[in-house]
Structure 1
């Protein structure tokens, strides 16, 4: 069992799966709104119950603490995002095109105000609750890097790339695409990059990545 699997909250056995899933989704959406508005420390189970439209008793049936609720929300959102952002066609011979589309989607997400708020919140809470930082990292960056690594492994096998360590190359790719954008936005410097800025940043990232990892001629 993975570290992520063991944080799942206990669910009420007496509720049918469909209704239970809908109620859980309702609670998670309410929690997301409260966490974004109040931050982790400022959020309370009472406020989350009110926003979700459930009683505190019902809330505690699904999640026994604010930490468990935040962990579940993080895992669900990051895993869903990984499915969308890191869907890579390993059989497409146009590797540069595949990675350019990935870089564009990734950088667009990095600049999303809700994403920036989430990262700030996790950073602020991680010192007091290290597990929150661990869960966020495993469900987000680690998932993305693992998916890119698998894709790069296939491209190396096909002779389209020349990479000694695909795990490091996957991290390099994401770092090149961010190119300081995330750091700048975390400190509220400047505005979210527009389409032209994203295009130029990703083009530069691809140039550097393929200079380092392109097939040997």
Structure 2
């Protein structure tokens, strides 16, 4: 789960000192709908006051600024998950069953409970409010403390005398919500698919692919096939795409100006509209062009039929350098911010940029299955989840900055150990 929680320090003493009145609960419900529909930047206190029928004076009495109101508005999105997670921690189920239950709770909350909406809003504002976005990302982890306790109990039962960091619970949450695919326009899984995902996540994270026997549903998860790239553009259009890429990645779709882009690229409005139709057409073509450029890579070889952790670590290290660099992060942020307007574009970018890495990982898993070393359904799904682990779900995208060399090495080793042998091997 990669949602957000509220910082109590940001709420006025009046709001903390008493239960919320029906009027304030109505205000938060309206504010939440406004933020989710339009994004943080497009919503004002004035517009929320008009939509809710609550005066600005009342709003400011409870919430000193828009950030505080946003925090409070999204807080209730996580209340149901927190209650469910706490109940699960008291159920005393067998560890395998408990992990499945936590995975399902996280996925249900992401899809039905609004936490996916909160994550979308947070990443959408990352360009203009990076510190606020980082704060929201950090605060969300507190909700996963019951899961961390479960992982600690599992590690203790295995005789591992090491404390389980909270980041491990966040990794599990990233796998459960298949981050960032749901933020990039992919269809939300129905309840039957969620059950399958939860069992696979629990098995992969708890045991690793070399030890987990996937005896559940053989269902193959949908795979998005992006649109074809077409012919190479003429020189003046190539230059236009390059100029547009700079402006869109720097300023976002809303902040970029066609007049400025056209003038810098020395391309008239007529040429621009003839080739791309409008601003949305240029944006779409530019984002897909960036993704295809990023996909021009040759991933390191993985030894066929050999579950070599060193080779997988080197592979995931290279994938982090390619998919987690500054340009890729900016590309992901930009299309996620516009996902509500153009989900097909977000899906295309996700699929295009990951294609060479997923193809190589899937072929390697096929070879391990042929050697009778793994017993898994849907190798393409497990390949995607390996990239989720190495890229830390949404966290690198939300943070907005690439990891340094030491962090990449640690993340790749961490992801490879969990993927092959389960989380205890990474402690």
Using the size of structure 1 for normalisation, the TM-score is: 0.74
Q: How far did 1:91 drift?
A: 5.3
Say yes or no: does 1:164 pair with 2:387.
no
Contact preservation (8 Å) 1:95, 1:160:
no
Equivalent residue number for residue 67 of structure 1:
280
Contact preservation (8 Å) 1:34, 1:51:
no
Count of aligned pairs between the two proteins: 197
Contact preservation (8 Å) 1:111, 1:192:
yes
Equivalent residue number for residue 207 of structure 1:
417
Q: In 2, distance between residues paired with 1:72 and 1:115?
A: 16
Equivalent residue number for residue 22 of structure 1:
235
Are residues 83 and 154 of structure 1, via their aligned partners in 2, closer, same or farther at CA, if it must alter by over 3 Å?
farther
Query: For 1:51-72, what per-residue CA distance to the aligned partner results, in whole angstroms no more than 9, with x for missing partners?
Result: 2222222222322222222222
- Show structure 1 runs of 5+ residues with no match: 12-16, 213-217
Contact preservation (8 Å) 1:173, 1:209:
yes
Q: In 1, distance between residues paired with 2:292 and 2:300?
A: 12
Q: In 2, distance between residues paired with 1:164 and 1:99?
A: 18
Are residues 96 and 109 of structure 1, via their aligned partners in 2, closer, same or farther at CA, if it must alter by over 3 Å?
same
**Which range is displaced more, 26-35 or 116-125?**
116-125
Contact preservation (8 Å) 1:4, 1:139:
no
Q: How far did 1:175 drift?
A: 1.7
Say yes or no: does 1:81 pair with 2:278.
no
Contact preservation (8 Å) 2:276, 2:282:
yes
Contact preservation (8 Å) 1:85, 1:102:
no
Equivalent residue number for residue 137 of structure 1:
350
**Which range is displaced more, 90-99 or 68-77?**
90-99
Q: In 1, distance between residues paired with 2:307 and 2:349?
A: 32
Contact preservation (8 Å) 1:90, 1:155:
no
Query: For 1:148-192, what per-residue CA distance to the aligned partner results, in whole angstroms no more than 9, with x for missing partners?
Result: 2234223433x2841413122202211221235x4155145xx53
Question: Residue 175 of structure 1: SS of its match in structure 2?
Answer: helix
Q: How far did 1:50 drift?
A: 1.8
Q: In 2, distance between residues paired with 1:80 and 1:127?
A: 24
Q: In 1, distance between residues paired with 2:297 and 2:331?
A: 18
Equivalent residue number for residue 269 of structure 2:
56
Q: How far did 1:103 drift?
A: 0.9
| Deviation >3 Å, runs of 4+ | 85-98, 141-144
Matches within 5 A, 1:91-170: 95-141=308-354, 144-157=357-370, 159=371, 161-165=373-377, 166-170=379-383
Q: How far did 1:124 drift?
A: 1.4
Contact preservation (8 Å) 1:126, 1:132:
yes
Q: In 2, distance between residues paired with 1:36 and 1:170?
A: 28
Equivalent residue number for residue 14 of structure 1:
none
Query: For 1:55-96, what per-residue CA distance to the aligned partner results, in whole angstroms no more than 9, with x for missing partners?
Result: 222222322222222222222322332331646456596843
Give the alignment's Cα RMSD to 1 decimal. Answer: 3.0
Equivalent residue number for residue 192 of structure 1:
402
Contact preservation (8 Å) 2:302, 2:312:
no
Are residues 98 and 84 of structure 1, via their aligned partners in 2, closer, same or farther at CA, if it must alter by over 3 Å?
farther
Are residues 130 and 169 of structure 1, via their aligned partners in 2, closer, same or farther at CA, if it must alter by over 3 Å?
closer
Q: How far did 1:28 drift?
A: 0.9
Q: In 2, distance between residues paired with 1:3 and 1:84?
A: 18
